[in-house]
């Protein structure tokens, strides 16, 4: 029977073989890499003595966010920590707010720098100043528009710094909303997290997000800070991790109490600009990381193109639909488990549609980045 179909139309049979191969590769990623996040069980020691921590936040004209969010950082349940806020050239009331808060919170340290002293691009210069000003070796980074999901955030992250650990990757979630854009942004955030968590658990850490990441100051200095990529306006988080992370020095923390929350973009154009900045860093990842990510992306693209092509010719439809069903069931199962781990919900059934949209929009974003650079950090 198979020989008959091959002889009747060898071209379509070849496409079917490629579809089967692309699906196999996708299944390897789902079950070999992403499922590690779905079934992850942390092994942290919360009984050990608290190691001093410096929480670092960079801010420019963030009066409202700081007034709302900073108390949640300052009131973490932890015995020994400071919060370092770098006021980077703000011309609103940020400075007065921080000075007033220092009267109430003695563990708040404020570092003010004028805007015209930025020798780097983006957030790297103020972040470097904040790191240099930190009193402790263990650093926990977040953004001014982020809020910890609990007062155990610091403790959960810090508990991962066992012997040899120098980087801990956390989850930066977005607030839930009812709009389609909100669901899409949270899907994309989950998808990216599933990739960098999964690869970290597979011994290939390649990125993290600045909304929720921790590392040692000693590691930062050994890596010469951001010098290797200071000309790139993005990458204070993912490019640093891409160069400094190793199999044995990196851990992840995904418990719900360890998440940070921030407000997602309100319009598609805002999300598009944000995505352009994030994608710019990917061009500078190590070759092996770009290769691994590109294999998944290219087989994902092939899967949809070949699936639609073969069905349009109604070529061995039961076999084609069986292959598609196998991938869909695997995808929904793994995504569903990861969503449960990361306390996400509301978009499981929309995942195939969001996935197709990303496949279509990513080349547009990449093309836009070729012709003009993304907007700088604030």
Q: What is the pLDDT along the chain (378 residues), one digit of tens a residue?
A: 555 555 567 889 899 999 999 999 999 999 999 999 999 998 766 667 889 999 999 999 999 999 999 999 999 999 999 999 999 988 899 999 999 999 999 999 999 988 666 566 678 889 999 999 999 999 999 999 999 999 999 999 999 999 999 999 999 999 999 899 999 999 999 999 999 999 999 999 999 999 999 999 999 999 998 888 877 778 788 999 999 999 999 999 999 999 999 999 999 999 988 888 878 888 889 999 999 999 999 999 999 999 999 999 999 999 999 999 999 999 999 999 999 999 999 999 999 999 999 999 988 888 887 776 655 545
First to last CA, the chain: 63
Tokens, residue 82? 């400071």
Kindly report the pTM of this predicted structure: 0.93
Provide DSSP, 305-330: HHHHHHHHTT-SHHHHHHHHHHHHHH
Domain boundaries along the sequence of the chain = 2-39+288-367, 53-266
Superfamily of domain 53-266: Spore Coat Polysaccharide Biosynthesis Protein SpsA; Chain A (3.90.550.10)
Q: What distance separates the 2 farthest-apart alpha carbons in the chain? A: 83
């Amino acid at each position: 029977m198979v020989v008959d179909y091959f002889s009747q139309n060898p071209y379509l049979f070849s496409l079917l073989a490629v579809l089967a191969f692309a699906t196999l590769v996708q299944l390897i990623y789902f079950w070999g890499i992403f499922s590690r996040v779905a079934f992850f069980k942390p092994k942290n020691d919360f009984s050990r003595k608290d190691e001093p921590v410096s929480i670092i936040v960079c801010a420019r004209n963030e009066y409202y966010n700081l007034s709302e969010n900073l108390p949640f950082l300052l009131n973490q349940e932890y015995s020994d920590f400071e919060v370092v806020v770098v006021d980077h050239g703000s011309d609103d009331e940020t400075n007065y707010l921080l000075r007033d808060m220092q009267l109430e919170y003695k563990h708040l340290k404020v570092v003010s720098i004028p805007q015209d002293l930025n020798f780097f691009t983006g957030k790297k210069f103020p972040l470097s100043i904040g790191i240099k000003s930190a009193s402790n070796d263990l650093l926990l980074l977040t953004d001014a528009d982020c809020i910890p999901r609990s007062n155990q955030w610091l403790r959960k992250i810090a508990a991962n710094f066992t012997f040899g650990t120098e980087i801990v990757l956390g989850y930066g979630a977005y607030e839930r909303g009812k709009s389609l854009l909100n669901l899409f942004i949270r899907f994309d955030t989950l998808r990216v997290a599933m990739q960098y968590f999964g690869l970290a658990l597979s011994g290939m850490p390649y990125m993290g997000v600045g909304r929720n990441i921790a590392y040692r100051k000693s590691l930062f200095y050994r890596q010469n800070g951001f010098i290797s990529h200071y000309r790139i306006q993005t990458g204070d988080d993912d490019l640093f991790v891409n160069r400094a992370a190793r199999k044995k020095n990196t851990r992840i923390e995904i418990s719900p109490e360890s998440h940070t929350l921030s407000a997602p973009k309100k319009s598609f154009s805002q999300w598009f600009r944000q995505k352009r900045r994030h994608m710019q860093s990917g061009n500078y990842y190590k070759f092996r990381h770009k290769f691994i990510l590109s294999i998944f992306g290219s087989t994902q693209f092939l899967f949809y193109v070949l699936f639609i092509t073969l069905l349009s010719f109604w070529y061995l439809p039961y076999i084609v639909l069986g292959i598609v069903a196998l991938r869909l069931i695997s995808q929904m199962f793994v995504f569903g488990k990861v969503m449960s781990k990361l306390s996400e919900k509301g978009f499981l059934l929309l995942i195939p549609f969001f996935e197709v949209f990303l496949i279509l929009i990513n080349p547009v974003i990449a093309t836009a980045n070729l012709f003009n650079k993304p907007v700088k950090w604030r």
